[in-house]
Amino acid sequence: MNQYKVFLLLSPIAVASSLVALIVCVVHRRGRGSIYLEGLLACSLAILIANILELTSFDPGHILVLSHITYVFLALTPVFWFVFSYQYSVGHSKDIGGLFAALCVVPLLTIAIACTNQMHHLLWRRNEIETIGSFRVNVVLEYGPWFWVHFAYSYLLYMTGAFSCRDGYQSASRGQSHICVSGRPGTHEGFLAYGTRHQRDAFYDQYRKISSA
C-alpha cells in the first residue's frame, strides 16, 4: 500500500471532522471573529477535497487544473490561520479587516502566478504527470523562484500564528490556547518537509495535505 492509498483511506476522516467543525462554527457564530476560523476550516476542507479528486482522476488536464485549484487554498490557509490566532489573542472586539487584506496580497499574487504558470514558470519550472501504482499524479521536478517566496511567507504566518496563540492569551484562556495550537504542528512540519523534500518524493506532499485538516 503506497502513500496515496493511505491518504485516500484517511482523508474521509479528515473531511468529516473539518466539515463538522465548520458547521459547528457557523451555527454557533459569535460576531465577526469566527469568520477567520471558518475560512481556515473551509480552506482545509477544500484542499482535502481537491486532492481526493486529483488522486482519483486519470485525465492529465483535470489533474493539472485541480493542482492549480489547490494552490488557491494553500495560499490562503496560512493567512486565515494567522489572523484567527492573532484576533483570538487580542480579543474579538478589535477590527483587523485591514490586516487581513494586507496579508492577502502575497497569496493573491501566488494564486495569479499558479493560474498562469505555463506562461512564466515562476511557480513550477518543470513538472510531469507520473503513474505511481494505480494513480496518476502531478510531480513537480523543479520549483520556480516564486514558490520559495510562497513557502517562506506561508511558514512565517504559520509559526507566528502559533506563537500568538501560545503567548497572547490571559491565564484564564490558557487551556483554550493549548487546544488551539495543538492542531497546527502537523501542518508546520508537513509544510517544512514539503519545501525541503527531494522533489521526486511525493510522500511529504501528501503528509502536508492531510495534516492541514
Residue 68's CATH number: 1.20.1070
Residue 124's DSSP bridge partners are 143
Q: pLDDT category, 185, cuts 50, 70, 90?
A: very low
Residue length, the chain? 213
Higher pLDDT, 160 or 180: 160
Average pLDDT over residues 50-56: 89
Average pLDDT over every residue of 30-37: 77
Q: What are the residues whose beta carbons fall under 8 Å from the beta carbon of 27, sequence distance 6 or more?
A: none
Cell numbers for 139, please give them.
510531480
Please report the pLDDT score of residue 211 as a whole number.
54
Q: How many CA atoms lie within 13 A of 147 on its CB side?
A: 20
Residue 182 scores a pLDDT above 80: no
Query: Which residues on adjacent β-strands are paired with residue 30?
Result: none
| Cell numbers placing 73 | 487554498
C-alpha cell, 135 = 494513480
CA–CA separation, 188 vs 173, rounded Å?
Answer: 23
Please give the pLDDT value at position 199: 44
Burial 23-33 (b: 16+ CB within 10 A, else e): eebeeeeeeeb
Higher pLDDT, 97 or 191: 97
Distance CA 150, CA 155 (A): 8
First to last CA, the chain: 22
Q: Of 194, 198, 206, whose CA–CA distance to 3 is shortest?
A: 206
Residue 188 in contact with residue 158, Cβ under 8 Å? yes
Count: domains in the chain: 1
114-121 LR contacts (CB < 8 Å, sep 24+): 114/68, 114/71, 114/72, 114/75, 115/68, 117/68, 117/144, 120/144
Count of CB atoms within 10 A of residue 73's CB?
A: 22
Q: Could you tell me the residue range of the domain that residue 129 belongs to?
A: 3-211
Q: Looking at residue 206, what is its pLDDT?
A: 52
Separation of alpha carbons 33 and 126, rounded Å? 41
Q: How confident is the model at residue 100 (pLDDT cuts 50, 70, 90)?
A: very high
Confidence of residue 147 (pLDDT cuts 50, 70, 90): very high
Percent of all residues in the chain with a pLDDT value above 90, rounded to a whole number: 29
- Which position has the higher pLDDT, 185 or 74? 74
CB 45 within 8 A of CB 12: no
pLDDT at residue 96, as a whole number:
81
Output 187 or 126, whichever has higher pLDDT: 126
Q: How far apart are CA 117 and CA 189, in angstroms?
A: 27
**Mean pLDDT taken over the chain:** 79
**pLDDT of residue 155 exceeding 70:** yes
